[in-house]
């Protein structure tokens, strides 16, 4: 018998590392997201008992995949048997899409999208679903991100996000959306959503919405792998190059974002000599390529902004006017309130904190960032720079109420206790 604590640790590790891969493989058999998720959950539950009795397998993810796929195949066979015995009652009318599922494709799906997880992301990003539903469903099912963390990332309540995902699953079922990989010619139509999923996955790893650690390395590494595979799949897409460049140049600072005591380090306090120069060089080439040949898109511009921050000799020597210019261009192609908020940081360095506060006030009136912790956090810093300590303290408290990550909470608490010492 294997000790229960060892089994629980092994199952937990396998869930963190392998959930997406196990689900993707099972979904190909089940062709139904709810069924696939149910079978995978049953496989993980079965692992607790089986591994305690038989020992932890050498490759836990392979054991889980086999167990989940068997459950899915058994369910599908039972359904097929039921239909064959009661055809007049349950035989559905075939749609063109359903017929196409069983016809041999001219190009094997594996030749179009070779990775199970990336393949499932393309499948989930069906154009019949609203984009936020695509993002939420994919992050939850494919990437294993908690519903609460997805809600934080998309600035809605957890109950609202859960309801959206339920509606999306029901729509897939009711509309008989085919659970198949799109043809190569269809991939560009789903690219925007796929890029959004990978970017949000990286964001959830770069600064974890909740938990003790600032960074979730597993999510960051997974998003980088997916971005690289997407680049191989669609090498001529400028926004794909832009996304990979953005992830690389942002992640180049990973080693310096917390100190030896796991305290959050501001950009201006980080040791730039420890940044990953090879990643920055690769990102630079991708960004330069992305800026060529017409007006750049959202991810290319975000990557260019991140590169200006990273490539400056010091924080004080950052080219702030150029960053404001790039943010203005970014807002024209992606009018996001989060972009407008990030722009205020650069505005404060060019035109002063008072001007930036005026723009913060407009964003507060807008209301879309009411649940976004970085709005009061940035506001607090600007107020502190103007010597308005009591107002700054109030804003820090507001930010604390909205923040779920322990490292960020510690940073804000220290700022609240004595901003002049931070």
Q: What span, in angstroms and rounded, lies between the C-alpha atoms of 256 and 265? A: 7
Sign for the CA dihedral angle at 282, 285, 288, 291 comes to negative
CA 289 distance to own-chain centroid: 24
**pLDDT, tens only, 257-268:** 999 999 999 999
Assigned token pair, 85? 């015995």
Bridge partners of 404? Answer: 210
Q: Are 64 and 18 a contacting pair, CB within 8 Å?
A: yes
Q: What does the alpha-carbon distance between residue 286 and residue 3 come to, in Å, rounded to a whole number?
A: 49
Give CA–CA dist 189/194, Å, rounded.
Answer: 10
Q: Are 374 and 363 in contact (CB under 8 A)?
A: no
Predicted confidence at residue 33, as pLDDT, reads: 76
The rounded distance, in Å, linking the Cα atoms of 202 and 143 is 11
Question: Which percentage of the chain shows pLDDT scores above 90?
Answer: 56
Q: What secondary structure letter does DSSP report for 258?
A: B
Model confidence at 180, in pLDDT bands (50, 70, 90)?
low
Mean pLDDT is lowest, of 7-21, 234-248, 296-310, 389-403, for 7-21
pTM above 0.85, yes or no: no
Other CB atoms within a 10 A radius of the CB of residue 111 amount to 9
Residue 412 pLDDT greater than 70, yes or no: yes
85 confidence band (pLDDT: 50, 70, 90):
low
């Amino acid at each position: 018998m294997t000790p229960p604590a060892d089994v629980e640790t092994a199952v937990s590790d396998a869930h963190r590392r392998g959930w997406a891969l196990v689900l993707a493989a099972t979904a190909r058999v089940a062709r139904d997201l709810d069924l696939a998720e149910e079978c995978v959950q049953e496989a993980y539950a079965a692992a607790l008992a089986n591994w305690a009795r038989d020992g932890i397998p050498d490759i836990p993810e392979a054991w889980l995949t086999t167990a989940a796929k068997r459950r899915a195949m058994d369910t599908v066979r039972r359904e097929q048997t039921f239909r064959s015995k009661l055809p007049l009652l349950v035989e559905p009318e075939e749609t063109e899409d359903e017929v196409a599922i069983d016809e041999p494709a001219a190009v094997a799906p594996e030749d179009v999208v070779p990775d199970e997880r990336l393949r499932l992301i393309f499948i989930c990003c069906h154009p019949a679903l609203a984009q936020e539903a695509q993002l939420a469903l994919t992050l939850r099912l494919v990437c294993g991100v908690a519903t609460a963390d997805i809600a934080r990332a998309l600035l809605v309540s957890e109950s609202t996000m859960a309801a959206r995902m339920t509606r999306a699953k029901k729509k897939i079922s009711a509309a008989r959306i085919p659970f198949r990989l799109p043809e190569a010619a269809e991939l560009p139509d789903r690219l925007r959503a796929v890029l959004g999923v990978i970017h949000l996955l990286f964001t959830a790893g770069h600064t974890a919405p909740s938990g003790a650690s600032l960074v979730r390395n597993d999510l960051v590494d997974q998003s980088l792998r997916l971005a690289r595979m997407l680049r191989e799949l669609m090498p001529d897409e400028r926004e794909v190059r832009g996304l990979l460049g953005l992830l690389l140049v942002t992640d180049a600072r990973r080693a310096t974002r917390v100190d030896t005591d796991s305290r959050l380090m501001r950009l201006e306090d980080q040791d730039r000599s420890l940044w990953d120069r090879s990643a920055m060089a690769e990102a630079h080439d991708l960004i330069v390529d992305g800026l060529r040949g017409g007006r750049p898109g959202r991810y290319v511009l975000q990557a260019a902004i991140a590169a200006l921050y990273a490539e400056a000799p010091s924080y004080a020597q950052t080219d702030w006017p150029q960053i404001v210019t790039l943010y203005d261009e970014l807002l024209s192609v992606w009018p996001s309130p989060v972009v407008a908020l990030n722009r205020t940081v650069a505005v404060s360095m060019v035109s002063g904190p008072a001007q930036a506060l005026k723009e913060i006030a407009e964003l507060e009136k807008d209301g879309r960032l009411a649940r976004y912790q970085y709005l009061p956090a940035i506001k607090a810093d600007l107020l502190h720079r103007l010597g308005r300590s009591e107002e700054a303290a109030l804003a820090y408290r507001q930010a604390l109420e909205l923040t779920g990550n322990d490292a960020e909470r510690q940073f804000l608490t220290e700022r609240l206790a004595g901003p002049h010492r931070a």
